[in-house]
Amino acid sequence: MSLFLIAALPFLGAVFPALLIRAGRNVASSAAGIATLLALIGVLLHLPDVMRGQVITAQAPWLPALGLNANFFMDGLGMFFAALILGIGLLIIIYARYYLSREDPVGQFYSYLLLFQGAMVGIVLSDNILMLVVFWELTSLSSFLLIGYWKHLPEGRQGARMALAVTGAGGLALIGGALLLGNIAGSYDLTDILQNKEVIQASPLYSTALVLILLGCFTKSAQFPFHFWLPHAMAAPTPVSAYLHSATMVKAGLFLMARLWPVLAGTDMWFYLVASTGLITMVLGAVIALFKDDLKALLAFSTVSHLGLITMLLGFGTEAAARAAVFHILNHATFKAALFMSAGIIDHESGTRDIKRLGGLRTLMPVTFVLATLASLSMAGIPPLNGFLSKEMMLEEVSHTYWLNSPLLMSVLATIGALFSAAYSFRYVSHVFLGPVRSDYPHKPHDPGAGMWLPPAFLVALVVAIGLFPQAVAGPLVNTVTDAVTGLQGKHYDLKLWHGITPALWMSVIAVTGGLLLLMVHRPLDRAWNNAPRPEAKQIFDALVGALTRLTRGVTDRLHDGSLTRYAAIFVVFALGIAFYAYNSGTAAPPSREMLDIEAVPLVGWICLVGSTLCLVAFHRYRLLALVLIGVVGLMVSMIFNYFSAPDLALTQLSVEVVTIILMLLALNFMPKTTPKESSPARRTRDAVLSIGAGLGIGGLIYAILRGSFAFESISHFHLDQSYKGGGGNNVVNVILVDFRGFDTFGEIIVLGIAAIVIFAITEAVLNSSVRARLLNWKPEEPDAGDSHPMMMVVVTRVMMPIALMVAAYIFFRGHSLPGGGFIAGLIAAIAIIMQYMASGFGWAAARQQFPYHGIIGSGVLVAAVTGLGAWFNDLPFLTSAYGYIYPPGLEKVEWATAALFDLGVFLAVVGAVLLALESLSRYAWTPNSDSPYPMDINPARADVPEAERED
């Protein structure tokens, strides 16, 4: 089975439970189980090849330019974890079917579970470290859904948020570490990265990459000081806890440390960071677990402790320690999943998981007692169960490991951790199952049906089988996985139950004996523990989150206060800072070009431009004067375009100036003619300084570019060479707009249309509000001239109308070869129609309107889109134009390009957008003396305005 299909099956299976839940719980659980089983079979089909040392691969390019490929590979390590994830996942699916109540949305649960499962399978099979990070983040998101599955429980919501915050933050660090690691190795594919140990460890970025990657691993695997989130995740339903604590989520960090072990391990930094963190976590988690009264809390902190044990072994950096870590991952997955499921059974059948309310369940729940006892004894490291073997291997490695230059310190601490581990394991059995039967259970305890005890029974059978026959059941697998972790073909190692009288055995005896003694004195120790002052991780986390929330809210409120001037000031200050840094650290050469002589005409234009700009700044409060000055600035800019041989830009600038000035005049007609003073002198001084600084900076940049010689070559040569060859036109500007960068133009006309429609929508909203009556009663500040529509202007504009439209058509048709085009032609046509509105009034013009402006905009966008789609029928990219010649009868040949149709779409969109904006603003205008057919209202749709609304 393809690795792509194995990775996809859980995601595909996640769709069916939610869809099939109406067919019943059995159907939904069966659909989830079938998807998991098929993926597991796919993994097991590759087992023989992987056990022979082969690596199964599947590759597909995704974004190769970014080094992101959808590559999967399965070696011993990937196969081992994938089998754990899918195998235990299948048992969890069966168990959850009988654990969850009828009130729980089971279809949703299984969908979340399979999404989580698919993300974990994606992590362990990924060959690309960036794709691994994507799956890594998906586990955080899907676990958030699972932990918070019982939304009605506040602790569930809190646990989900805490898990997402901690693991999500670690994921951000991992992204940075993965990028650095790929950059060092020269590839983001793990199969390439794992071959570059010397290059990676010799890099100056090794330390940074290692710390970032370990942050991701430690947060995901709940290592100190990030261990606190995992116990709070126990608020999830027990099937989730069993899955998350045994084979998924928390094992992701261990997997990544094992996967990158060949290139990151072996250095002092690796040893002290990983081994020390693991040792501290192991001891701390074991001590806390002993004093937890909630069964799932006890098991959660025991998980933290055992994760620390495995992390410590990976930190040693030796092959034997790596083998012990692999073996304990297998053993921990079996006994911990069984223990969580047994805790769920106890809670489900007795109505509580509070140890102090339990006891005496041995006779009431004999099947659960046997399963939980065997799993607990394995967790305690009691022979002949599998936990004893991997614990002995751990103690053996610890016994000859120096830590902080001491040969005993690590051995002592590890023995203490094993001692507390034995103590809480014994407590799980004695305080829950032994002792007299109580009469105050919330519910009468009894063993559940086979659907709930068979999954943990299967795992307990593995616990016993591996313990009794370790080499036959697990030996070859552990050796194969260890070879994949270390990247070496290590010597064959036989797993044995008895290794003789060794220091590890004596350490184990001390741990078991000490655990029994701690259990005997647990009650006074528990009182002392509860009375002792100690920090609470949840309170620290809540306080930290609260402080960060207040800080971010304060920063946000200060920066995003709705003041556009503040936003502009922040942007300008930042730009000036970056520019100043670039200026001081840059290597720009001194000017190499001579200054040109200043001619009289450009000098006059420059004086007019600067003078009008300064006047605009000085008199900006007088809106009408400011509008006139803006028009002068626009006129001078268009003349500059023309002076520098850019007639297209000059025509466009002039047309835009005419249209915008008219529209702004119309809007200004309904606004105060002056702007009140709102800025203090200090703010105006600040703005002046920033403006002058930015202006000088831009001016200096332009000066440096014009007088300097640069190595880069302008792209204009390409456009000049390819204009006719590629687009069939001599007007480079037009060819760029409708061909080379036609997609940009297509987006721009859409945005232009949207802007006009927004103006129309705002107008509609205003005219249907209380503002309507105020508009009807509005009187201009200055008296009218008395003749709203002068006859001379009416006659002139109607004579000029066809001439202007003819000019627009001429500009349109010649645009591909000479200055012009659809945009300029559209503006000229719009100006011709605007003149009719100005001369004859809105009512007269609206009554003769033949086509709705919304439709003109839509038709323009549609024509442009259809033109672009036409290229697809010739297997060419979107908007690729074709051109050729036509031979009209009696005329010379005429060049024709499909870009003209695209330009027609631009023409229609521009005309429609401008006129829709004009019409929207014009509807505010009403004059009693106009010859509008609707003299008493703004338009026909508003002819029913009550008389009261027209009176002061």
- The per-residue b/e assignment along 335-373, b for 16 or more CB within 10 angstroms, e otherwise, is bbbbbbbbbbbbbbbbebbebeebbbbbebbebbbbbbb
Q: Where are the alpha helices (DSSP H) in 644-741?
A: 647-668, 681-707, 716-727, 732-735
Chain segment 357-399, per-residue pLDDT in tens: 888 899 899 999 999 999 999 999 999 999 999 999 999 999 8
Query: Residues 276, 253: contact at Cβ < 8 Å?
Result: no
Range 398-417 average pLDDT: 88
Chain segment 426-442, per-residue pLDDT in tens: 999 999 998 888 888 88
Whole-number pLDDT of residue 929: 39
Q: CB count, 10 Å around CB of 908? A: 26
Whole-number pLDDT of residue 762: 84
Whole-number pLDDT of residue 594: 82
Whole-number pLDDT of residue 711: 61
**Tokens, residue 109:** 């649960």
> Which is higher by pLDDT, 127 or 922?
127
Phi, psi of 240 (to 5 degrees): -65, -45
> Which is higher by pLDDT, 293 or 922?
293
Query: Residues 823, 737: contact at Cβ < 8 Å?
Result: yes
Does pLDDT of 75 surpass 80?
A: yes
Distance of CA 679 to the CA centre of its chain: 40
Whole-number pLDDT of residue 951: 38
pLDDT band at 952 (very low <50, low <70, confident <90, very high): very low
Does pLDDT of 686 surpass 60?
A: yes
Range 245-274 average pLDDT: 90
> Which is higher by pLDDT, 925 or 138?
138
H-helix or E-strand spanning residue 96: helix 76-99
Max mean pLDDT among 34-38, 819-823, 853-857, 880-884 falls in 34-38
> Which is higher by pLDDT, 494 or 787?
494
Chain segment 498-524, per-residue pLDDT in tens: 777 888 888 999 999 999 999 999 889
How many angstroms separate the CA atoms of 269 and 261, rounded?
A: 13
Query: Residues 313, 324: contact at Cβ < 8 Å?
Result: yes
**Residues 301, 278, 315, CA angle at the centre, nearest 5°?**
150
Does pLDDT of 772 surpass 70?
A: no
Max mean pLDDT among 411-425, 554-568, 569-583, 852-866 falls in 411-425
Query: Residues 28, 112: contact at Cβ < 8 Å?
Result: no
Distance of CA 582 to the CA centre of its chain: 31
HSE (CB half, 13 Å, CA atoms) of 567?
7
Whole-number pLDDT of residue 936: 34
How many angstroms separate the CA atoms of 135 and 171, rounded?
A: 10
Whole-number pLDDT of residue 20: 83
HSE (CB half, 13 Å, CA atoms) of 510?
15
Q: Which of 281-285, 461-465, 880-884 has the lowest mean pLDDT?
A: 880-884
Chain segment 790-829, per-residue pLDDT in tens: 788 888 888 888 898 899 998 888 887 888 888 889 888 9
Does pLDDT of 354 surpass 80?
A: yes
Residue in this structure with the two tokens 């001619």, named with its chain if needed: 599
Cis peptide before 384 (omega within 30 of 0): yes
Range 294-315 average pLDDT: 93
Chain segment 139-159, per-residue pLDDT in tens: 999 999 999 888 888 888 888
* DSSP for 586-640, written as a single string: --PPPP-SPPPPPPHHHHHHHHHHHHHHHHHHHTTTBHHHHHHHHHHHHHHHHHH
Does pLDDT of 44 surpass 90?
A: yes
Look at residues 370, 393, 374 and name the one whose alpha carbon lies nearest to residue 382: 374
Whole-number pLDDT of residue 346: 93
Whole-number pLDDT of residue 927: 39
Tell me the percentage of the chain whose pLDDT exceeds 70: 94
Query: Residues 266, 397: contact at Cβ < 8 Å?
Result: no
pLDDT band at 81 (very low <50, low <70, confident <90, very high): very high
Query: Residues 201, 209: contact at Cβ < 8 Å?
Result: no
Whole-number pLDDT of residue 119: 94
Question: What pTM, to 2 d.p., does this model score?
Answer: 0.71
Look at residues 910, 919, 938, 906 and name the one whose alpha carbon lies nearest to residue 663: 919
Chain segment 87-108, per-residue pLDDT in tens: 999 999 999 999 988 888 888 8
> Which is higher by pLDDT, 766 or 588?
766
Is beta strand 56-58 parallel, antiparallel or unpaired with respect to 72-74? antiparallel
Long-range contacts of 51-54 (CB under 8 A, 24+ apart): 51/76, 51/476, 51/477, 51/480, 53/480, 53/483, 53/489
pLDDT band at 931 (very low <50, low <70, confident <90, very high): very low
Residue in this structure with the two tokens 């200090």, named with its chain if needed: 682
Strand partners, 57: 73
How many angstroms separate the CA atoms of 292 and 298, rounded?
A: 5
Residue type, 183: N
Residue type, 698: I
Range 754-758 average pLDDT: 89
Return left, alpha or beta for 351; rule: phi > 0 is left, psi -120 to 50 is alpha, else beta: left
Does pLDDT of 714 surpass 80?
A: no
How many angstroms separate the CA atoms of 495 and 327, rounded?
A: 10
Whole-number pLDDT of residue 946: 44
Classify residue 751 as exposed, middle or buried by CB count within 10 Å of its CB (0-12, 13-18, 19+): exposed
Does pLDDT of 924 surpass 70?
A: no
Query: Residues 667, 921: contact at Cβ < 8 Å?
Result: yes
Chain segment 645-661, per-residue pLDDT in tens: 888 888 888 888 888 88
Whole-number pLDDT of residue 26: 86
Whole-number pLDDT of residue 598: 84
Classify residue 453 as exposed, middle or buried by CB count within 10 Å of its CB (0-12, 13-18, 19+): buried
Strand partners, 101: none
**3-state class of 69 per DSSP?**
strand
Whole-number pLDDT of residue 716: 78
HSE (CB half, 13 Å, CA atoms) of 370?
11
In order of 39, 95, 699, 700, 708, the CA distances from 584 in angstroms are 59, 67, 17, 14, 17
pLDDT band at 943 (very low <50, low <70, confident <90, very high): very low
How many angstroms separate the CA atoms of 83 and 748, rounded?
A: 53
Query: Residues 379, 286: contact at Cβ < 8 Å?
Result: no
CA 580, 585, 586, 589 torsion-angle sign = positive
**3-state class of 180 per DSSP?**
helix
Does pLDDT of 838 surpass 90?
A: no
Range 660-664 average pLDDT: 84
Query: Residues 396, 504: contact at Cβ < 8 Å?
Result: yes
The chain-wide mean pLDDT, for the chain, equals 85
Query: Residues 298, 519: contact at Cβ < 8 Å?
Result: no
Three-state SS for 810-852 is HHHHHCCCCCCCHHHHHHHHHHHHHHHHHHHCHHHHHHCCCCC
Classify residue 563 as exposed, middle or buried by CB count within 10 Å of its CB (0-12, 13-18, 19+): exposed
Query: Residues 920, 760: contact at Cβ < 8 Å?
Result: yes
How many angstroms separate the CA atoms of 849 and 915, rounded?
A: 11
H-helix or E-strand spanning residue 910: helix 899-922
Whole-number pLDDT of residue 702: 85
Does pLDDT of 216 surpass 90?
A: yes
The single-letter DSSP state of residue 674 is B
Longest dimension (CA), the chain: 119
Residue type, 105: P
Whole-number pLDDT of residue 333: 93
Whole-number pLDDT of residue 490: 66
Find the length of the chain: 952
Whole-number pLDDT of residue 345: 93
Max mean pLDDT among 284-293, 893-902, 937-946 falls in 284-293
pLDDT band at 787 (very low <50, low <70, confident <90, very high): low
Look at residues 544, 532, 526, 541 and name the one whose alpha carbon lies nearest to residue 230: 541
**Residues 6, 7, 10, CA angle at the centre, nearest 5°?**
90
The single-letter DSSP state of residue 947 is G
> Which is higher by pLDDT, 266 or 497?
266
